[in-house]
Structure 1
Amino acid sequence: MMTTVEEIRRDVVLGNHILAGEGVLDVFGHVSARHPDRPDRFFLSRSTSPAQVSDETLLEFDLDGKVVAGEGHPYLERFIHSEIYKARPDVGSVVHHHAPSIMPFAATGTPLRPIYHLGAVIGPEVPFWDSQDEFGDTSMLVFNPEMGASLARTLGKGNTALLKRHGAICVGETVPRSVFISACMRDNGELQANAMAMGDPDFLSAGEVEKSNKVNGWGRPLERAWEHYCRVYG
């Protein structure tokens, strides 16, 4: 089934509202989606809080992060989105967030690994990107194409990455997938931290990650999660 521009724009709005309601996004963070007819374009809101995103706030960008349609001041970190779309033709949606449960991992460098079945969607282990490695002292924001491209290289072919001392990114083929991964990443961070406080966690094996993704990560479970979120926040 073909997805229309109107449906994609609606999903971007809903994705922002869902993750704001779920506490994954706060005043900051953002959700974007690739244009369904122009893979060299994507939709991302102008600079506003996620809960206030609407169809009227959406801007259309090219893969250099330049506004090609819409009015308003863009996010400084639009290059997170543009460079990931440029590097990953398979990605249809990008989320950047600072969920409180994952920030201790971003601050300490402690590996974030799947600790429950739905946590498998984050991947076997989440890679770290440290802006210090290539760019030295910065504002911690990904504010130019060079930083965005560096982050995209760290992400590689995975679904998630942690930005040291900053936050996280999650990607998927669709907005429902990137939103679902973001929510599961939040939950996995909280569960892992709680488990580590009790002892040594029993993480999922590589085989369990692969099989859990096939059974629980996509298909009907994803549809059920998206239907739930849309009912609550739509």
Structure 2
Amino acid sequence: MSAQLEALARSVRVAARALGRAGLVHAYGHCSARIDAASFLVAPSRPLGLVRPGERCTVVPLEGELPEGVLPEVRIHREIYRRRPDVGGVARIQPPKLMSLSVLGRTPLARHGFGAYFHPQPPLWDDPLLLRSDVQARRLAEQLGDARAIVMRGNGAVTAGQSLQAAVVLAWYLEDAARVELDCLSAAAHTLPTCLSEEQSAVRATWNGRLLERMWDYLTAGDAELD
């Protein structure tokens, strides 16, 4: 493995453990980073919080079959990378608040700053079954469109960022948006706050001021593979 690819693999492992520490995945979940226009690198096929320093990640081509040992749902990553050249990282997550919201057939509205990144709200993949076929993966990627995340009813979510770091940060933002949404739904209807407008969300959903870097530092603090 080249030094460049090994550096990317280290980022994938760090991201995997960050998702685990933050409670955004448990026994299930996976993450990946784009290598180039023809391939991406996916985390080891085990609980992300248990990925070991130096553990081997797998190169997955955008064309052809999934490599042996790669989890079936990684085909979701493949379809997103095929359709979205702007995407550099994908996270398949199982956050608890979002899971509860999704079984109600809802996704979080843009009610606060972190929700603005998904304005007006993430699309809902309204199928609770496991996604194990190329046809399903293609349909999910098509429904995702240009959005930063898609919520899967009773089955977590997928985030897509310009980098894997962004996908991980968006995963945290998405779970926080779900927390706020559930809190609002538990209040009386007349107390529900207004949502951010499209214009407000466009201004608020920024990475300026090292917003991405600061959250990434927060989520990865103390990781064994960071200097």
Q: Structure 1-normalised TM-score?
A: 0.86
2:195 aligned to which of 197, 203, 227: 203
Q: Say whether residues 1:229 and 2:227 are aligned partners.
A: no
Which residue pairs with 1:109 in the alignment? 105
Give the letter aligned to residue 59 of structure 1.
Answer: T
Equivalent position of 2:26 in the other structure: 26
Task: Note closer, same or farther for the CA distance 1:231–1:111 as it changes in structure 2 (3 Å cut).
Answer: closer
Give the equivalent residue in structure 2 for 1:89: 85
Separation (CA, whole Å) in 2 of partners of 1:201 and 1:6: 47
- Structure 1 residue 45 corresponds to structure 2 residue 34: no
Kindly provide the amino acid, as one letter, of the partner of residue 23 in structure 2.
G
Partner deviation per Cα, 1:68-100 (whole Å, 9 max, x = no partner): 6xxx62111111111111111111111111111
DSSP-derived class of the 1:194 partner: helix
Aligned to 1:220, which of 186, 210, 219? 210
Task: Spell out, residue by residue over 1:17-61, the C-alpha distance to the aligned partner (whole angstroms, 9 max, x if none).
Answer: 1111000111111111111xx321111124211012244231111
Q: Say if 2:34 and 2:88, in contact at 8 Å, map to a contact too.
A: yes
Matches within 5 A, 1:36-185: 38-54=36-52, 55-64=54-63, 66-67=65-66, 73-131=69-127, 140-185=129-174
TM-aligned CA deviation for residue 113 of structure 1 = 1.1
Q: Select between 51-60 and 6-15 the one with higher mean Cα deviation.
A: 51-60
Q: State the match for 1:135 in structure 2.
A: none
What residue identity is the alignment partner of 1:99? P
Once the two structures are TM-superposed, the CA of residue 230 in structure 1 deviates from its matched residue by 2.6
| Corresponding residue for residue 194 of structure 1 | 183
RMSD: 2.0
SS at match of 2:17: helix
Cα pair 1:64 1:145 within 8 Å, conserved: no
Aligned mates of 2:157, 2:208 — CA distance in 1 = 21
For each residue in 1:169-218, what CA deviation from the matched residue of structure 2 results, as whole angstroms up to 9, or x when unmatched? Answer: 1000101100110001111111110122123232222111100013xx45
Aligned residues: 218
- Please list every run of 5 or more consecutive structure 1 residues that lacks an aligned counterpart in the other structure: 133-139
User: How far apart are 1:119 and its partner, in Å?
Assistant: 2.2
Q: Which secondary structure does the structure 2 equivalent of 1:108 belong to?
A: coil
How many percent identity over aligned positions? 26
- 8 Å CA contact 1:116–1:188 kept in 2: the answer is yes
Runs of 4 or more above 4 Å deviation:
none
